[in-house]
Amino acid sequence: MSEEQTPPVRDDPDVVVVGGGVAGLFCAYHLRRAGAAVTVLERGALGGQQSCSSGNTGFVGTHGAAPLAEPGMRSWRSLAMLHPDAPFHVRPRADRELLRWLGHFGRACTPSAAAAGFRILAAMKRRSLEILLELCESDRIADTFAMPGIVLTYRSAQGFSAARAAVARTVANGIPLRVLEPGELDELEPKTRFTVRGALYNPEGAYLRVPEFVLEFARLLRALGVEIREYSELTGCTITAGKISRLSTTHGDLRPGAVVLTAGAWSTECARMAGVELPLQPIKGYSVTVDMPPSGPSRPVLLSEARVALVPLGDRLRIGGTLELTGMRNTISDRRVARMVRTVRDYLPDLEQTHTHETWSGLRPSTPDGVPVIGRAGPGNLIIAAGYGHIGMGLAPAGGELVGHLLAGETPVTDPVPVRPSRFGGRDRRPT
Ligand SMILES: Cc1cc2nc3c(=O)[nH]c(=O)nc-3n(C[C@H](O)[C@H](O)[C@H](O)COP(=O)(O)OP(=O)(O)OC[C@H]3O[C@@H](n4cnc5c(N)ncnc54)[C@H](O)[C@@H]3O)c2cc1C
């Protein structure tokens, strides 16, 4: 739909959801199913390049619930992060919010904090997979979802041995994972040759094909009666008697009963309009989508030490990865993209070079402890659902459900305590 064709919206919906990425769409889904009149505001096009939900590798399923903040990050690795070629690169700058974020990040790098983060993320990923499977039963959305399992590969003996040692703990947390015996990787991926020390397999590895999933989901939401307003940007809030009484947008004002803020990496600036400080930093990543090489893998593969993911999308292969804490500028570094693609050949040396269709960058909305911020904050009718970081596709279904439960005053399936926005001790600011 073009900007000119955008239909007029109701100016008094029960709930306005700000942001049309995967976080916003899942909130809209659960709220609408609970009977609310919902309007979604998206400042660009749904599934457009600006959204982090549009060009990622789409891994969902039960694997990959570890927060980014992990024990060891505070030691020599934190210094290595300053190198521009580091898989997780931090560009130092004199920015009070970045320093505060790094302080919280450092405190989250303890075994107990990482274990607590893992528990809530694993529970949310499991619940999200259930919601996705339910969604796929009844709709064309199923065409944008697949669950062929995921292979986690390790190039270094140290990396593989640490991963193998953690398998029992992962399984004890209800996540299926096993070590692949010699020869099993070849059986699973007969076309692809790997130069790795070992590999693990999770049969619940699944993926969403994006941006197609976002577009199909939006179609379903519109059919359910959700009003989705593209090219419509939130520009300000009016607060009366402790509640948001009016939202100003580039297409007129709205007087919602409640507001759900799901603006991804831009949630910080939107929250400030309501006088709320959020501890989010954008962590940039890239994806490159190429013609499927003849020796490309048939299922998702993670190149673990390099933090690079491969996902087959029919006749294409998407390579995604890199973590860059370099501010809100969503520009592409050719150097880092080239390095990411070179890394793939370290693991899959025979992978043929093919035509590149798209190089994309996205800003992951990231909290210091890797756990999203979901819950009430500031004005009485505001709920935040942001900070999904590097696993937002795999968390947003459960996060949206939690928002629905909180707004309806129902007992939530997902524990709201570990994700509460106030856990960083943030203060409310007066709106300007
Ligand atoms: C390279 C890469 C690979 C990734 N791979 C995976 C993966 O395999 N699995 C996984 O689970 N996650 C993955 N992620 C993370 C995932 O993409 C994000 O966690 C997720 O997309 C965040 O969704 P969101 O809805 O919070 O943010 P977004 O998708 O960014 O949506 C926020 C939306 O809000 C809109 N907005 C902003 N300001 C305003 C305003 N003022 N008014 C109206 N609208 C506004 C924006 O235009 C945007 O569309 C990856 C990320 C990257 C970068």
- Annotate 304-315 with DSSP letters as a single string: TTTTEEEEEETT
Which atom of ligand 1 is the closest one to the Cα of 263?
34
Residue 50 CA: nearest ligand 1 atom is: 47
Confidence band for 90, pLDDT divided at 50, 70 and 90: confident
- Measure 353 CA to ligand 1 centroid, in angstroms: 29
Closest atom of ligand 1 to 19 CA is 34
Residue 163: helix, strand or coil by DSSP? helix
Mean pLDDT computed over 35-45: 97
How does residue 8 score in pLDDT terms, banded at 50, 70 and 90? Answer: very low
pLDDT for the residue numbered 425: 82
CA 180 to centroid of ligand 1, rounded, Å? 33
Q: What is the pLDDT of residues 158-170, one digit of tens each?
A: 999 999 999 998 9
What span, in angstroms and rounded, lies between the C-alpha atoms of 366 and 373?
A: 9
286 CA: nearest ligand 1 atom: 1
Q: How confident is the model at residue 326 (pLDDT cuts 50, 70, 90)?
A: confident
* Residue 397 alpha carbon to ligand 1 centre in Å: 13
How far, in Å, is the centroid of ligand 1 from the Cα of 70?
A: 23
φ/ψ of residue 206, rounded to 5: -140, 165
- Lining ligand 1 with CB less than 6 A are 18-24, 41-44, 50-53, 56-59, 233-234, 262-266, 270, 285-287, 309, 320, 362, 364-365, 386, 388-394
Query: Residue 139's pLDDT is what?
Result: 74
Closest C-alpha to ligand 1, atom 33: 19
pLDDT value at residue 11 = 79
The candidate with the shortest Cα–Cα distance to 211, out of 57, 27, 331, is 57
Q: What is the pLDDT of residue 5?
A: 43
Q: Give residue 98 CA to ligand 1 midpoint distance, Å.
A: 20
Among 29, 52, 124, name the best residue to mutate to test ligand 1's pocket (greatest count of ligand atoms within 8 A of Cβ).
52
- The ligand 1 atom at the shortest distance from the C-alpha of residue 390 is 15
Ligand 1 nearest-atom number relative to CA 283 = 53
Do 379 and 239 contact (CB within 8 A), yes or no? yes
Structure tokens at 264: 């991804």
Cβ(124)–Cβ(64) under 8 Å? no
Q: Which of 387, 411, 410 is nearest to 23 (CA)?
A: 387
pLDDT band at 74 (very low <50, low <70, confident <90, very high): low
Among protein residues, the one whose CA lies closest to atom 26 of ligand 1? 264
